[in-house]
Amino acid sequence: MAPVKVTKICCIGAGYVGGPTCAVIALKCPHITVTIVDLNQARVDAWNSPDFKLPIYEPGLEEVVREARGRNLFFSTDVDKGILEADLIFVSVNTPTKKSGVGAGFAADLNYVELATRRIAQVATSSKIVVEKSTVPCRTAESMRTILEANSKPNCHFDILSNPEFLAEGTAITDLFAPDRVLIGSLQTPEGISACASLTEVYANWVPKDRILNVGLWSSELSKLAANAMLAQRISSINALSAICEATGANIDEVAHAIGYDTRIGPKFLKASVGFGGSCFQKDILNLVYLSESLHLPEVAAYWRQVVEMNEHQKRRFSKRVVDTMFNTITGKRIAVLGFAFKADTGDTRESAAITLIRDFQSEKAYVNVYDPQVVEEQIWTDLAEASPLVPEEQIKKQVRICKSAMEACKDAEAVVIATEWKEFNEINWEEVYQSMNKPAFVFDGRLLVDAEKLRNIGFKVVTIGRP
Q: Which residues are annotated as a binding site for substrate?
A: 165-169, 224-228, 264, 271-277, 342-343, 447
Using alpha carbons, list the distances in angstroms from residue 157 to 92, 105, 113, 127, 129. Answer: 21, 36, 19, 5, 8
The residue among 350, 191, 381, 365 whose CA lies nearest residue 277 is: 350
Contact 121, 157 (CB under 8 A): no
The residue among 257, 163, 173 whose CA lies nearest residue 212 is: 163
Cis peptide leading into residue 440 (ω within 30°): yes
- Any residues with CB less than 8 A from the CB of 179 and at least 6 apart, and which? 166, 207, 211
Q: Measured between alpha carbons, how far is 346 from 421 in angstroms, rounded to an integer?
A: 11
DSSP state of 439: S
Contact 90, 133 (CB under 8 A): yes
Q: Which one of 10, 196, 280, 410 is the catalytic residue?
A: 280
Classify the C-alpha dihedral 236-240-246-248 as positive or negative.
negative
* 138 has catalytic annotation: no
Q: Measured between alpha carbons, how far is 122 from 129 in angstroms, rounded to an integer?
A: 15
The residue among 248, 257, 260 whose CA lies nearest residue 466 is: 248
Q: Write out the binding residues.
A: 13-18, 38, 43, 93-97, 134-135, 165-169, 224-228, 264, 271-277, 280-283, 342-343, 350, 447
Backbone angles phi, psi at 265, to 5 degrees: -110, -55
CA 172 to chain centre: 10
The alpha carbon torsion through 314, 318, 323, 328 (nearest 10 deg) reads 60
The alpha carbon torsion through 121, 127, 133, 135 (nearest 10 deg) reads 50
Backbone angles phi, psi at 321, to 5 degrees: -65, -35
CA 216 to chain centre: 26
Helix (H) or strand (E) holding 160, with range, is strand 158-162
Q: Write out the binding residues for NAD(+).
A: 13-18, 38, 43, 93-97, 134-135, 169, 280-283, 350
Q: Measured between alpha carbons, how far is 379 from 375 in angstroms, rounded to an integer?
A: 7
Backbone angles phi, psi at 182, to 5 degrees: -115, 125
Give me the active site residues, please.
280
